[in-house]
A and B are shown apart, each in its own frame.
Chain A
């Protein structure tokens, strides 16, 4: 063999990226496939099946009821209310979080001393659990002893019932969740702002643009991808609002803060009407998909991606 050496046989570096690797490939993915298959894909099918049945999650008998669950949805006033509340919430929460995040990120996008401390303080709301948020804000907005009412009184405004009021509760939850998501929003925007090359700012400055003009004509348009990401991500999360409602108002007062997922949970796990809840969930799923698809379509037309 030594006599054969290089001149005779080409040195094969990689063998077979063909079917020989299939066994290895499948072996490596099988744990993931099993886990995600059982807990991710199978439930989608089960949910569909459940939506055509009547189930209380305990008894094994689940009679088939066809489309009756879906029909009930249309006549359910609480469902309609829940949708209304969710839409109002989403319409306020998403732009609110983006604006606050952009504003804070723009302020943080500079290199003064201690900037990392300021940034950490801005990010930190990300680590606060939803329940903790709820408890803190219940206390902050307490009608009788809350800090917010103290501040209002100090400037001459009357105390507000906030979370105890059917007309105000939802908006307080909007404010609370904007606070909770600011950290996330700031991180996204700060990364996007820093992704704008300094040279572009310099070129624009040489071209005679003021700092404000630069922000408007150079920076903001280049935030397109970040905006898209936030709109999609925040909308999806807004439509699934639950924890913060549970931690504060339990859907009240007088169902003022009942949002979709809260109502769903209530129907499925408190009132044990799982089939109906499944139908509700499925209907929502379709809506979310449509909304997300529309968002992407609009984005492709208007958002610049480099």
Chain B
């Protein structure tokens, strides 16, 4: 199934982002809301009305497509006016609204041109304009920035945020880019394989991930996830005792983000032993990729080592093979069920 039982609520004026890898069902959810595809079960409401039986044109929604879908044989003006004309809006009203929207998006000089004569960024704005001019109840955006080059994308992201502040229309925005998701959304809905993994604000998603998928998907570089075992109340990684934890014994997945993990050149007891693989300098900091031994008799079938990324201050360099120690700060260490990947409900405090 492209979508398993999806339950999603968007508040009035909210900007909700559906984010996830390709095939996760986010575009499907958007198209169902638009009425371009039909659900096999379930109910969709817009503004309180059930819209399952309504054609897209009757749902009072507007959509911005990834490839813009501008009518190539019509001028920008007629592209913007098309939806209004279908609703028999009087000519003067159309004129007013089109010019107003064009002004807002700074495309007033382009009204007489055809889409083929516009740049990618201009086309994107016309696509936005076509949706905005109809003042719909809801705004559906399907990866509208993915066809723009990186620089333009950053700029348009800012424009979008400002636009939503000025015109807070209820919106669902689909993207696979987690940076876009985290910066643009009031709330995020992380999806994978047709199911919702977690819904929440950027802060919720980033700092309180519900499972290993969300933890690893959001954040770049991703959170380090390491298989470990708790024996007699002590956390063991690769056989080495790390610290005491107040958590049931058994296998567990431990997660720490690269920027929270602390790197010590000299290994000491209680640290996680590791060996440097390579260092990537990034100007403001460096990323050290290290190998951690995770072999444990209680964890049959796990690989011998796992890679871990640590963020360290700039200017440092370590030779490949150097033995180092890693420290996991208690308030930034996450525990996930080793089998299901779900976050353990209470974050266990570790005593060092």
Contacts and interface: CB of A to CB of B under 8 A. Distances in A.
Interface of A: 197, 199-200, 202-210, 213, 217-218, 221-222, 224, 304, 306
Contact of B69 (A202, A209, A221): A202
Given A199-B67, A213-B86, A306-B116, A206 B62 contact: yes
A208 B87 contact: yes
A89 to B, nearest CB: 32
Contacts, number: 62
27 contacts: A197-B69, A200-B69, A200-B71, A202-B36, A202-B63, A202-B65, A203-B69, A204-B71, A205-B55, A205-B56, A205-B57, A206-B35, A206-B36, A206-B56, A206-B62, A206-B83, A207-B57, A207-B82, A208-B57, A208-B86, A209-B57, A209-B86, A210-B57, A213-B86, A218-B71, A222-B73, A306-B73
B61 interface: yes
A221 B75 CA distance: 13
Given A202-B36, A209-B57, A306-B116, A222 B72 contact: yes
B34 interface: yes
A207 B73 contact: no
Interface in B195-254: none
A292 B75 CA distance: 29
A110 to B, nearest CB: 16
Place the interface of chain B in its size category.
20 to 34
Contact residues of A: prevailing secondary structure? helix
Interface of B: 34-36, 55-58, 61-63, 65, 67, 69-73, 82-83, 86-87, 116, 130, 134
Given A203-B71, A222-B72, 20 more contacts: A197-B67, A197-B69, A204-B82, A205-B35, A205-B36, A205-B56, A205-B57, A206-B35, A206-B61, A206-B83, A207-B82, A208-B57, A208-B58, A208-B87, A209-B57, A209-B82, A209-B86, A210-B57, A213-B86, A222-B73
A197 B69 CA distance: 8
A197 B161 CA distance: 30
B57 A203 contact: no
Contacts of B82: 204, 207, 209, 217
Nearest to B65: A199
A206 B130 CA distance: 11
Contacts of A204: 71, 82
A202 B57 CA distance: 10
A226 to B, nearest CB: 13
A273 B134 CA distance: 72
A306 B72 contact: yes
Nearest to A306: B72
Contacts of B116: 306
Contacts of B87: 208
A209, A210, A213 — most chain B CB neighbours (10 Å): A209
A209 B81 CA distance: 12
Contacts of B134: 207
A206 B63 contact: yes
Contacts of A203: 63, 65, 69-71, 130
A18 to B, nearest CB: 36
A217 to B, nearest CB: 8
A200 B65 CA distance: 10
A74 B72 CA distance: 49
A251 B134 CA distance: 62
A137 B286 CA distance: 83
Contacts of A206: 34-36, 56-57, 61-63, 83
A207 B69 contact: no
Contacts of A217: 82
B11 to A, nearest CB: 23
Contacts of A306: 72-73, 116
A272 to B, nearest CB: 54
Nearest to A211: B55
A304 B73 CA distance: 6
B106 to A, nearest CB: 22
B67 A304 contact: no
Nearest to B55: A205
Contacts of A222: 72-73
B339 to A, nearest CB: 42
A207, A217, A218 — most chain B CB neighbours (10 Å): A207
Contacts of A218: 71
The 8 A-B residue pairs with the shortest CB-CB distance, nearest first, are: A208-B57, A207-B83, A208-B86, A199-B69, A203-B69, A304-B73, A206-B56, A205-B56
A200 B67 CA distance: 10
Contacts of B72: 222, 304, 306
Contacts of B67: 197, 199
A197 B70 CA distance: 10
A149 to B, nearest CB: 46
A209 B71 CA distance: 13
A199 B67 CA distance: 8
A200 B58 CA distance: 17
A205 B34 CA distance: 10
Contacts of B83: 206-208
B35, B62, B69, B87 — most chain A CB neighbours (10 Å): B69
A208, A217, A306 — most chain B CB neighbours (10 Å): A208
Contacts of A210: 57
Contacts of A208: 57-58, 83, 86-87
A209 B55 CA distance: 10
B65 A207 contact: no
A277 B69 CA distance: 55
